[in-house]
Structure 1
Amino acid sequence: MNKNSKIYVAGHTGQVGHSILHTLYSMGYSNLITISRENLDLRNQSLVDQFFTTVKPDYVFLSAATVGGINANQQYPADFAYDNLMISLNIINSSYKSHVKKLLYLGSTCIYPPSLIPPLQENNLLLAPPEVTNESYALSKIMGIKLCEYYNKQYNTNFISAIPCNTYGPYDHFYSKRAHVIPDFFCKFSSASQNSSPEVILQGDGTAIREYIYSLDLADACIFLMNNYTSTVPINIGSGYTITIKELAYKIAALCHYKGRIIFSHSGANGASYRYLDSHRINTLGWNAKTDLTIGLKNTYKIFLSKYFSC
């Protein structure tokens, strides 16, 4: 990409898309295209085709998705499957028909089988069924990755895909039943601190291990890959920072100045016991995460307090 390339960021109001947009602007890219979901339903093939025919982007970052935590995945499996399948199908197909020079598709670490021992490598994909608690989302994202592969094979396109670990940071959605773990914890512990609640009860047993990457680090990795990676094989984007859910809860409780009891209910879904990535391939290419988890959480808490504390 050069600084004047016409770049479409799909999903620019989401956490990852907003981070990519912010980072592109900060790097001097100026010809950036965005459109709100109110003005373009990415699930509608004819409307997406019209949009691509009109704007003719050179590059596409496909970060648009319907996302949520374990509870949302279990409550809305049809929505998660339909929305993500249609978004992937429409944008990838329109990118092909509009002769987009390169597309980056973002998957998710939850698409890897939970039965495998981490760190998870790119060739582990499809070796076993996905985690049952997010099956519909995982299968739809896997199809997006495979679709990039199929278009490259049949039409000689340059569509790449990346699989990031769990993301947190600026532009997250600190509200709703669809929130992921970190924004959910910020809401719970800040509210408990404000109300002097004697205890906070959390779902599961807290033993699950996760890897987290700061969203601006992920955005930097996506731009790096757009400029430096060309392959049909998906590539992992990890930070190397792993933590149990219990340790994460105590870290966030401390940031929120919560001094009451933290109780894990041992009820509800835990998700996979271990989930973290082998990021050797992207590290070998010259990219590494910059933001330590503790620093990233502190930065996120400041933003949460200043803009989002309405849980």
Structure 2
Amino acid sequence: MNKVFVAGHRGMVGSAIVRQLEQRADVEVVTRSRNELDLTNQQAVADFFAKENIEQVYLAAAKVGGIHANNTYPAEFIYQNLMIECNIIHSAYKSGVKHLLFLGSSCIYPKMAEQPMKETALLTGTLEETNEPYAIAKIAGIKLCESYNRQYGLDYRSVMPTNLYGPHDNFHPENSHVIPALLRRFHEATLRGDKQVAAWGSGKPMREFLHVDDMAAASIHVMELDKATYDTNTSAMLSHINVGTGVDCTIRELVETVAKVTGFSGDIVWDTTKPDGAPRKLMDVSRLADLGWRYNYNLEEGLKDAYQWFLDNQDNFRS
């Protein structure tokens, strides 16, 4: 039986990975809460790995947030993410863990990267200013895995997801990402009987979204690829793999679908005084497709699932 440590098991991605791994009879899932194990504490992490005899690691733990949080807490974002990555990857190596999967973010790519964004775009231009500290930490995680593989002959892999959503997302009114923020806003507008809801910008920018259960499935797929297959599709200069649908939609289409899913029948008013952001952010997922994986959820099905989870857990989102 494989003993698998999922770091960040209470987060959106980590919890999805745990749900899928727990369905397998040949896997013993190991988790630790933040109170049980401080991943920013080097000695605590080293002691954990020395004791537990872990065979595989999914490194899904991270400090995450939207534009507001990234702008407000840049030092926390770069420090905590760097410490978590360094401690886990180094302690995994020291304790003999041969297989590790690091989960990054599409924000590693340059602000003006050619669309769709290929893995080769990494480090070819300036990052988006609002989340640069977080992006730099995620790039460091990729390079840690790459460097430990080169020097110690390990098999540490990295996957870079597009925008994620789904069960266990953050529905905080200020610190959440676009889909949970919209689901909550339209849900509350429907309950109040509002005649209209304001949406930011023009609605023209295009974005790609991936349901977190698909992300978990892709992560496990990449982790479990035999080394020959993985190495055939991964060179030393391409030590990470994009994960997404390869399909995007306009923000207008997203907002209209959220309104449909939440039952909002009023008007949507576009506040064009608010910024649009980058015109398009789409991942090139051809390498992952070549490795035999494709997503399951289309956007409307995924939003229905995420909204149902919100409804089932909304008592936790009163703030």
**Do these two structures clear the TM 0.5 threshold for a shared fold by scoring above it?**
yes
Q: Distance in 2 between matches of 1:194 and 1:131?
A: 36
Letter paired with 1:24: L
CA deviations over 1:178-224 (Å, ceiling 9, x no partner): 21111111111111111122332333433221111111111111111
Select the residue among 265, 268, 286 that pairs with 1:262: 268
1:9 alignment counterpart: 6
2:30 alignment counterpart: 33
Is 1:67–1:178's contact at 8 Å kept on the other side of the alignment? Answer: no
Letter paired with 1:131: E
Q: Distance in 2 between matches of 1:135 and 1:148?
A: 20
Select the residue among 48, 72, 76 that pairs with 2:73: 76
Please list, as runs of the form range in 1=range in 2, the aligned pairs for 1:165-244 lying within 5 A after superposition.
Answer: 165-228=162-225, 229-230=230-231, 231=234, 232=236, 233-244=239-250
Shift of 1:143: 0.7
Select the residue among 146, 149, 154 that pairs with 2:151: 154
Shift of 1:29: 4.2
Please list, as runs of the form range in 1=range in 2, the aligned pairs for 1:50-199 lying within 5 A after superposition.
Answer: 50-199=47-196
TM-score (norm 2): 0.92
Shift of 1:36: 0.3
Q: In percent, how many aligned pairs have the same letter?
A: 42
More off after superposition, 177-186 vs 228-237? 228-237
Segments ≥4 residues shifted beyond 3 Å: 27-30, 202-205, 229-232, 266-271
Q: Distance in 1 between matches of 2:276 and 2:14?
A: 27
Letter paired with 2:45: V
Shift of 1:268: 5.1
Shift of 1:131: 1.0
Mark the runs of 5 or more structure 2 residues left unpaired by the alignment: none
Q: Distance in 1 between matches of 2:201 and 2:134?
A: 21
* RMSD of aligned Cα (Å): 1.6
> Is residue 9 of structure 2 the alignment partner of residue 22 of structure 1?
no
Shift of 1:272: 2.6
Q: Distance in 1 between matches of 2:245 and 2:26?
A: 25
Q: Distance in 2 between matches of 1:38 and 1:237?
A: 31
Mark the runs of 5 or more structure 1 residues left unpaired by the alignment: none
Q: Distance in 2 between matches of 1:123 and 1:74?
A: 27
Is 2:165–2:212's contact at 8 Å kept on the other side of the alignment? Answer: yes
Letter paired with 2:313: K
Aligned residues: 308
Is 2:4–2:54's contact at 8 Å kept on the other side of the alignment? Answer: yes
Letter paired with 1:260: G
Q: Distance in 2 between matches of 1:203 and 1:73?
A: 19
Q: Distance in 2 between matches of 1:89 and 1:30?
A: 25
CA gap of 1:153–1:165, structure 2 versus 1, over 3 A, is same
Is 1:202–1:265's contact at 8 Å kept on the other side of the alignment? Answer: yes
Shift of 1:155: 1.6
Q: Secondary structure at the match of 1:26?
A: coil
Shift of 1:176: 4.7
Q: Distance in 1 between matches of 2:59 and 2:41?
A: 16
CA gap of 1:304–1:117, structure 2 versus 1, over 3 A, is same
Q: Distance in 2 between matches of 1:58 and 1:99?
A: 8
Shift of 1:269: 4.9
Letter paired with 1:248: L
CA gap of 1:62–1:284, structure 2 versus 1, over 3 A, is same
> Is residue 256 of structure 2 the alignment partner of residue 250 of structure 1?
yes
Select the residue among 275, 282, 288 that pairs with 2:281: 275
Q: Secondary structure at the match of 1:6?
A: strand
Is 2:107–2:131's contact at 8 Å kept on the other side of the alignment? Answer: yes
Is 1:131–1:271's contact at 8 Å kept on the other side of the alignment? Answer: no
CA deviations over 1:4-36 (Å, ceiling 9, x no partner): 100000000000000000011123344110000
More off after superposition, 48-57 vs 258-267? 258-267
